[in-house]
Amino acid sequence: MIDQQLAEIANLAIVVTIVLYVLALIGFAADLASTSQRRSDERLAAREKHEAQSRDQETSAEAALPATVGASGGAGAHVAGDAQASAGAAVGSEGAGGGDVAGTDGAAAASTPSATTAGAAASGSMTAQNFAFILASAATVLHIVGVALRAVATQRVPWANMYEFATTSTAVVMAAFLIFSIKRTDLRALGTFVVGPVLLTMLLAQTLWIVPAAELTPSLQNSHWIYIHIAVAILSTALSILGAVVASLQLLQARHERALMLKAEAGEQFPEHWGRFGHVLDRLPSSTALEALSFRIHSVAFVCWTFTLIFGAIWAREAWGRYWGWDPKEVWTFIIWVIYAAYLHARATGGFRGSRAAGLALAGFVAVVFNYTIVNTVINGLHSYSGL
């Protein structure tokens, strides 16, 4: 028996969750925007200090020139020359000291915003990032409550169609991101890039894939494999989404770092790349750190996809009398598994790292998206459980 009233409350919880995710996204974006502005101000202040230091050095050099001209005169002139040389040396010393002070001030000015940010984080004061993280945490809790209410209302698992699969998998994505961010606070800078795809998926689910709460189709009833096989598939999809986000940022960060290195080698004192967006990338972990994180996420995702295939084959044997039948969903799940296996093998092979490995990981995610959208809605098969 379906409790339609409770199902409506669950749907309302999902809608409120979307609103909170929008606010969290704005908060994370505001944090990155303020960081970009601070970085721009720091670079401008450092450039101005460097120019002032250069002018001071030129002035001190010009002041020292008259002392050498007066050195060829008489004794009085010689003494005067020595006095002028001493004065010039003093001016030069002051100029050099002024330059040092300027350089020190520039370094202090450049480090002040970062130090302020670190101090704010250490003292627990409310920043845009902290506020966004609290909103994202509240939204995730409400998200999980909405999924649980849907399960109670239908008296079954909350992943029997595309809408429920999307809402459950995005809840897993956000829960994983929050858990990672608690241990590593630097990963909170990725909030914009994680909440964005989650919000997009939930908007699609709420507008295009939503279906009324209903009982399971007969083919899915009376089987414990729906608890095991689909749960692992949800975890696999969630990890693939997280891995794709990190791999995409890795590609952007690697290109940004390469451009900065080339400009620095060309002699630029304050190299910049991609303007404000480049300042945002400066806030994120390095491409090496992102690549390591991507590899760990995809390693776990590959294990989950392996068990998704195995459990699916066992369930197919019970339901249809065969382990494998080249159904479109089976084929594309196998394609996903092969791509991620190739990624892990290539990543473990010397020389196949960096952007090439990230590209292969993103190819696996494209296969995941195709499997979830096109195969579920366009290609007919035994796994047509979208509910649309």
Can you tell me the mean pLDDT for 365-381? 91
| 194 touches 245 (CB < 8 A) | yes
Residue 87: predicted pLDDT:
40
What own/partner pairs with CB < 8 Å and gap ≥ 24 does 219-222 have?
219/319, 220/160, 220/385
Q: Which of 78-82, 90-94, 206-210, 269-273 has the highest mean pLDDT?
A: 206-210
**Which residue has tokens 């991620």?**
340
Can you tell me the mean pLDDT for 29-52? 67
Residue 200: predicted pLDDT:
96
Cα 135 to Cα 127, 130, 143, 278, 383: the distances in Å are 12, 9, 12, 26, 37
d(CA 202, CA 199): 5
Q: Which residue has the higher pLDDT, 350 or 294?
A: 294
d(CA 286, CA 43): 20
Q: Which residue has the higher pLDDT, 190 or 67?
A: 190
Nearest Cα neighbor of 340 from 259, 240, 204, 251 is 240
Q: Which distant-in-sequence residues (6+ apart) come within 8 Å of 375 by Cβ?
A: 328, 329, 332, 381, 383
| 53 touches 102 (CB < 8 A) | yes
pLDDT in tens, 211-226: 999 888 777 777 889 9
Alpha helices in the chain (DSSP H): 4-69, 75-123, 128-154, 162-183, 191-204, 225-265, 275-283, 287-320, 328-348, 355-377
Q: How confident is the model at residue 97 (pLDDT cuts 50, 70, 90)?
A: very low
pLDDT at residue 98 greater than cutoff 60: no
Cα 365 to Cα 63, 283, 336, 376: the distances in Å are 66, 25, 8, 16
% of the chain beyond a pLDDT of 70: 77
Q: Which residue has the higher pLDDT, 54 or 198?
A: 198
**Which residue has tokens 């627990």?**
124
What own/partner pairs with CB < 8 Å and gap ≥ 24 does 347-354 have?
347/295, 353/291, 354/254, 354/287, 354/291
Residue 388: predicted pLDDT:
60
The angle that helices 355-377 and 287-320 make with each other, rounded to 10 degrees, is 30
Residue 379: predicted pLDDT:
86
pLDDT at residue 26 greater than cutoff 90: yes
Lowest model confidence (mean pLDDT) among 113-117, 266-270, 305-309: 113-117
**Which residue has tokens 């791999």?**
247
